[in-house]
Amino acid sequence: MDPEGIDGVRMTWNIWRRTKLESTNCVVPVVHEHHHLTLRSAPLPRVFLSSKPLRNQTNLPHELHAHHTTFEYTLPNRSDRPSGAAFLFVLDTCMIDEEFGFARSSVKRAVGLLPDEALVGFVSFGTQVHVHELGFSDLAKFDLLTTELHQTVVPHIAKIGFSCVEYELIVSKDLIEPLRSHKDLDKGEAPFYEKAEKFYHGLANQLVNQGLVLDIFASVLDQVGVAKMKATVEKTGRLVVISESFGHSVFKDSFKRVFEDVNNLSVFVSSSNILTLFTQSFSVENFKSTVQRIKMQGIIGPFSYEVCSRISYPLCFLFRLPSLIMFANYWQWVDTAASTEELVPGFDQETAAVVMARLASLKMETEVEFDAQRWLDRSLTRLCSKFGDYRNNDPTSFSLNPNFSLFPQFMFNLRRSQFVQVFNNSPDETAYSRMLLNRENISNAAVMIQPSLTTYSFNSIPQPALLDVSSIASDRILLLDSYFSIVVFHGLTIAQCRTLGYQNHPEHQAFTQLLQEPQEDAQMIAHGRFPMPRLVARFLLARLNPSASYNNASEMNTGSAAIFRDDASLEVFYQHLQKLAVQS
């Protein structure tokens, strides 16, 4: 069963406390994840059945039937809306010839996929900025490109107005300054970062006000400034893709998918009306009214609520107070539980893990010297202390209800993830991963935090495996899905047989099939995801629990590997958690 359900709605707590203090003691905030962005919001008015002679308790409007959980309303066509979408391509031409060839090819292909009524503009910038009339050669490099574009695009050219903003050169032409790192940002040693970030926040507001959206496709080995520009993408609800090259499948396949879906009006290309609704109506200021004793606390991808003792503004979006929430045509029951035990069935640990990851990421960006690992550890300890079953000061007696049992493992992997451990990542890479964490639904975001591992062997069908080095064996193939990358790992014996070419002999069809199966599954996962993940054959050990080390090498499976690192294993982590949670 799809955990997102038919409505794409999940909550950290489906049963809530009645007061702010009691809710705060539950540690994980009340958060509402609603992923279907194409649904239109419509307030639910009070219904007076007596005013409609044909309406009664057995003849209700569709919105009031319990089995109709969501509704999507079709808006009438507006005469002032342009008949076709408008696309403005903006390309940085400061790149090597090979990269430029890849970019040119992709843009040509994209324009060829646009609908006939589309309005198209093209801007290139290097030392100077050029606005191109498609079909007229005014830049030598683009002679072939502009000519071919003119042959594929109908003669509807958008007249685009823009303003040029002067800015200081951040890196000298000598290229002797090192690129900024997280440490430079923390110490204030990136003098132009805040100024650039402020500029892009202003640009984002202009895009929202004009009903425009911005996508960023970057080909970088390190940085192009996505960390500064992220507000322009997040506020317009659009896309960002970072790849190693314009010739890499991550860029080519992702870029192609955006334009392949234009004619189908997919979520990748939405109308200005829908995106304006998303960026403006879904703001805290315009969405204050919920149910009694509930206040909108903020927006981090999903919505976060705070339980209040009293509320001072008028109530709306509700029916049958106070047990109903109406948001984007969805009703969520709220129970005023009297005991801790009654809250347990309503806890969604996967949603809670994603919410804690988003909160930790936000705090790392906005709070000075915030210690994410310490905050996560303290939050987990408080949660386990409140909802765990144990005798005081007896760690061996500690246990968790199945509704909470996976949460410590999620927190263990979150502590080791790229969202918290930023040392080996550039600011752009960190910003990119956090933007996708905020954008994706709970199921996909959970895979970013805790990858899935599947094992393939001669002796069994593909099956889930523990995210642990003990899952490595010489006669197995492992498929690791971490959302951003997909790893196919061959055990020692499998790798040796592959090197000897056993798969090329008819008498070894079983081995050939064993090699093909994880590759086919990897391709299926990749083609169902946006952006396209990297398909790699390394980085497996970095995401596995380091349960095996040089201290217990004799206990390891044949062909498995020990991980020599300072990280504590999940077992050691859980033992420390037990000790802290049971302290009186």
pLDDT at 138 exceeding the cut of 60: no
In SS3 terms, 362-417 reads as: HHHHHCCCCCHHHHHHHHHHHHHHHHCEEECCEEEEEECCCCCCCHHHHHHHHHCC
Count Cβ atoms within 10 A of the Cβ of residue 175 and give its class: 0-12 exposed, 13-18 middle, 19 or more buried: exposed
Count other Cβ atoms within 10 Å, centred on residue 138.
12
Q: Which two three-digit tokens encode residue 137?
A: 């050669």
Residue-level length of the chain: 584
User: Each residue of 438-487: pLDDT tens digit?
Assistant: 989 899 999 999 999 999 999 899 999 999 999 999 999 999 999 999 99
Say whether pLDDT at 266 is over 50: no
Closest CA to 196 of 156, 172, 169: 169
Average pLDDT over residues 409-414: 97
Top-confidence residue, 128 or 361: 361
- Count the neighbouring beta carbons within 10 Å of the beta carbon of residue 420: 19
Q: What is the mean pLDDT of residues 66-89?
A: 63
For 576, the enclosing helix (H) or strand (E) is: helix 570-581
User: Cβ neighbours of residue 420 under 8 Å, at least 6 residues apart?
Assistant: 360, 364, 372, 373, 376, 414
If phi over 0 gives left and psi between -120 and 50 gives alpha, with beta otherwise, what is residue 27? left
Name the pLDDT band for 383 (thresholds 50, 70, 90). Answer: very high
Q: What is the mean pLDDT of residues 35-48?
A: 44
- Give tens-digit pLDDT for 300-355: 665 655 566 544 333 323 222 333 444 443 334 444 545 678 889 889 999 999 99
Question: Quick check: 453 and 464 in contact, CB under 8 A?
Answer: yes
- Residue 70's pLDDT band (cuts 50, 70, 90): low
Instruction: Give pLDDT tens digits for 507-538.
Output: 999 999 999 999 999 999 998 898 999 988 77
The better pLDDT of the pair 8, 500 is held by 500
Q: For residue 97, what is the enclosing H or E element?
A: helix 97-113
Percent of the chain at pLDDT above 70?
Answer: 66
Closest-CA residue to 328 (of 9, 6, 91, 4): 9
